[in-house]
Structure 1
Amino acid sequence: MNSSPVTLLASGNSLGAYIPAIHLYTYLQGRNVCTDIHVLENLYHKEVRLKIRSTKEAFHADFSVARMGHKLAKPVDSSLDEEAVLRLLHGWKQAGVFRFVVFTGFWIPILERYKQEADDSLDIQLIRLDAWDTPSFKVHKQLYPGYDNVWLYESSKLSPSSYIASDDVEPLPYAQRAGRILIHGGGWGIGTYASTISELRRLGYGLDVIVYDPSEVDEDDGITRYFGTKPSWDPWSRDALGRHTFPPMVRYVRIGGVLREFPFEDYSAYTDLMRNCAAIISKPGGATLNDSLSHGIPFVMLEPFGDHELHNSAYWESCGFGIQFAEWKAQDFSKHHLERIYRRLLEQRSKINHFGEEYLCSRKQQLRLTK
């Protein structure tokens, strides 16, 4: 397996199609598997990339605009720089790349072109981190059935098949957790998450809020903590060593109107913060479902963004892994109910393996069969 590189295809437009890919990259690299990762936006025309930030700001400012944008999703072909695409395809062919793990359907037209050029059959898995078609797959509904679609959350089976994380560390026992609530709006900071903050603060909950913009940080009250990604960072950028990385996280503290920033040493500090929380409150995005299962975190779900998140919400609730915010509120924000959800998550988590482990085992078996 080590002699057969694995190429991960991600997108920075949605952190839900980026963070799980970086988790898998970290996991495979930690097991000495030669792994490469490409982010789709690096194939865009520069002016298209520049517009992404303004689109994100518009979606963050108005959830109705975000929902409308979701409905208007279309293939990204017109955004692609043909020279960049040709360089990538040529590089893959020269290197004999044939193993792919794909996190967004927008890569499918490029893979269709590579199929025509590749000398050997390709091993391509489309990772479906939602319980329904996301826009990137929906716009390629005629093509994706020809691929190996790996659904982590099959609607017909109320039992997720696997999870994706940087490691395979067991969830922290609930009694050992700090009891804080993590609140965020996904990678684009969208949804109704901000409206829950003041209500829970009045009840005395310790909150860890992931803000989209530092201007959202309130004056320090000694209980509520604020975090975020460095505003200058983009998922399609690379570090000084040419690598794609996890978002650089920062803790924000505003005292006397003055905002101070305290950078995290690395992303594992944020992962530890997640593992230690009593629940996540957010819209039901696929990457947050994965966080919930990976770390045994009860999911309090807000209004969904699009049909795929509507199905995610129904699926997670049917599995017993989450609860609607309105229902949790009707139960007087019961901590005992959250703990029951944790136990259900832990039970399911004990029955399944890390996707990376499943992937490596299946590839080793294929290798033995071909000898």
Structure 2
Amino acid sequence: MNSSSITMLASGNSLGAYIPAMHLYTYLQDRGVRAAVHVLENLYHEEIRRKIPSTKKAFHADFSVALMGHKLAKPVESSLNEEEVQRLLDAWNRDGVSRFAVFTGFWLPILERYKIIACEPLDIRLIRLDAWDTPSFKVHKSLYPGYHNVWFYEPSKWSPGGYIASDETEPLPYAQRAGRILIHGGGWGIGTYAGTIPKLRELGYPLDVIVYDPSEVEEDDGVTRYFGTDAAWDPWSRDEQGRHTFPPMVRYVREGGVLQDIPLRDYASYTDLMRNCAAIISKPGGATLNDSLSYGIPFVMLEPFGEHELHNSSYWESCGFGIRFAEWAAHDFSKQHLERIHTRLLEERSKINHFGRKTYAAENSSYV
């Protein structure tokens, strides 16, 4: 057993800074590497945390509101409960916690405090799953250069640095896939994804749509399927063992106006949907780039959410891993074009390693 555990610092405010952390946690745990996940919102004042669902709802309802909120991003120190922060710092120091994988820049002021009191040398890696600064890192531009920044999609290098998934299963061959297209708006259900559904239905594409709210589910047509996250779940909650979990996913079916929600067995059932799909249509968030590379899925990119996603889109397109929706439309929504992108993804994925393997798991004698 590796004597030093890995602590993932995530955020539930953005699933893009939560799901990859959970993938890495699962991967390391399965290989005998001790790991833990902390979610920033558990350090918030309760009244601040209670406001998050209403903010998400407003961003989902109006993309322009979401864009404005992105531009106004600021450090979160005023939202933090000092007693909770101090309790966490004391626990880290007591337990000798020294190795961190950091998925959101909003943790940096807390890490600055820990650097002062830590009794051991620290290994802190900032996991940069975007091709440009996200708001959480941008607001701490004076701090992050002093850390080890792990850029997965460095603009000057037209090859990704790695990928993160719960395992190292190879992508499913394209000819064996069901040919369905997965459509979503990221963890907050934002962007222009819903507007793509009518045209793709008209073209006969079978769709798997991840809805933000069950009210978006239309009458079952035998072709389009709807999925979502269990409304009772939030990322800062823990299970009975005190651990953070992947979101419980459900399938929605509306028949005769009556909505049913059918729980999926586990989150792996959702990743199986991704492994089996012909393309993802979404805004170009960093976690979706990671999904595209991990599972060899062509990425049809919608309007970006902020400057970092604009850079993501340009990077993915330049690498040949994706195509903008308007460009795909200009190619008559060609299936052959998607398959060529899939081939390009597989070529590049064969050259890189899982981040957990090359950074952490290889140090574990039971795995090497």
For this structure pair, what is the TM-score category when the shorter chain's length is used for normalisation?
over 0.9
Hey, what does 2:251 align to over in structure 1?
251
Hey, what does 1:103 align to over in structure 2?
103
Deviations 1:108-131 (A, max 9, x none): 000000000012220000000000
Hey, what does 1:321 align to over in structure 2?
321
Q: CA deviation at 1:363?
A: 5.2
Q: Within 2, Cα distance between the matches of 1:45 and 1:328?
A: 45
Hey, what does 1:148 align to over in structure 2?
148
C-alpha contact 2:2 2:364 (8 A) present in aligned 1: no
C-alpha contact 2:302 2:324 (8 A) present in aligned 1: yes
Q: CA deviation at 1:257?
A: 0.1
Q: Within 2, Cα distance between the matches of 1:161 and 1:114?
A: 28
Hey, what does 2:296 align to over in structure 1?
296
Alignment of 1:218-367 (within 5 A): 218-360=218-360
Per mean C-alpha deviation after superposition, the further-off stretch among 238-247 and 284-293 is: 238-247
Q: CA deviation at 1:362?
A: 7.0
Structure 2 residue matching 1:323: 3-state secondary structure: strand
Deviations 1:216-260 (A, max 9, x none): 000000000000001111000011211100000000000000000
Per mean C-alpha deviation after superposition, the further-off stretch among 116-125 and 80-89 is: 116-125
Q: Within 2, Cα distance between the matches of 1:119 and 1:255?
A: 60
Hey, what does 1:369 align to over in structure 2?
none
Deviations 1:158-194 (A, max 9, x none): 1001000000000000000000000000000000000
Structure 2 residue matching 1:162: 3-state secondary structure: coil
Alignment of 1:64-83 (within 5 A): 64-83=64-83
Amino acid at match of 1:151: W
Consecutive aligned runs of 4 or more in structure 1 exceeding 4 Å deviation? 361-365
Alignment of 1:21-60 (within 5 A): 21-60=21-60
C-alpha contact 2:102 2:127 (8 A) present in aligned 1: yes
Alignment of 1:84-95 (within 5 A): 84-95=84-95
- What's the TM-score, normalizing by structure 2? 0.98
Q: Within 1, Cα distance between the matches of 2:148 and 2:362?
A: 13
Q: CA deviation at 1:26?
A: 0.1
C-alpha contact 2:33 2:361 (8 A) present in aligned 1: no
Q: How many residues align?
A: 365
C-alpha contact 2:125 2:149 (8 A) present in aligned 1: yes
Amino acid at match of 2:181: I
Amino acid at match of 2:138: K
Structure 2 residue matching 1:91: 3-state secondary structure: helix
Alignment identity in percent? 78
Q: Within 2, Cα distance between the matches of 1:112 and 1:183?
A: 39
Structure 1 residue matching 2:120: 3-state secondary structure: coil
Q: CA deviation at 1:199?
A: 0.8
Q: Within 2, Cα distance between the matches of 1:150 and 1:195?
A: 35
Q: Within 2, Cα distance between the matches of 1:75 and 1:361?
A: 33
Deviations 1:270-324 (A, max 9, x none): 0001000000000000000000000000000000000000000000000000000
Hey, what does 2:214 align to over in structure 1?
214
Q: Within 2, Cα distance between the matches of 1:323 and 1:341?
A: 8
Amino acid at match of 2:217: V
Hey, what does 1:181 align to over in structure 2?
181
Q: Within 2, Cα distance between the matches of 1:113 and 1:138?
A: 19
Deviations 1:10-57 (A, max 9, x none): 000000000000000000000011101100000000000000000000
Q: 1:364 to 1:148 in 2, by over 3 A?
A: farther
- The answer to whether structure 1 residue 126 and structure 2 residue 131 are counterparts is no
Q: Within 2, Cα distance between the matches of 1:353 and 1:143?
A: 29
Structure 1 residue matching 2:100: 3-state secondary structure: strand
Q: 1:361 to 1:19 in 2, by over 3 A?
A: closer
Hey, what does 2:136 align to over in structure 1?
136
Alpha-carbon RMSD across the aligned residues, in angstroms, is 1.0
Deviations 1:77-125 (A, max 9, x none): 0000000000000000000000000000000000000000012220000
Q: 1:252 to 1:364 in 2, by over 3 A?
A: closer
Q: Within 2, Cα distance between the matches of 1:110 and 1:362?
A: 29
Q: Within 2, Cα distance between the matches of 1:71 and 1:161?
A: 28
Q: 1:362 to 1:122 in 2, by over 3 A?
A: farther
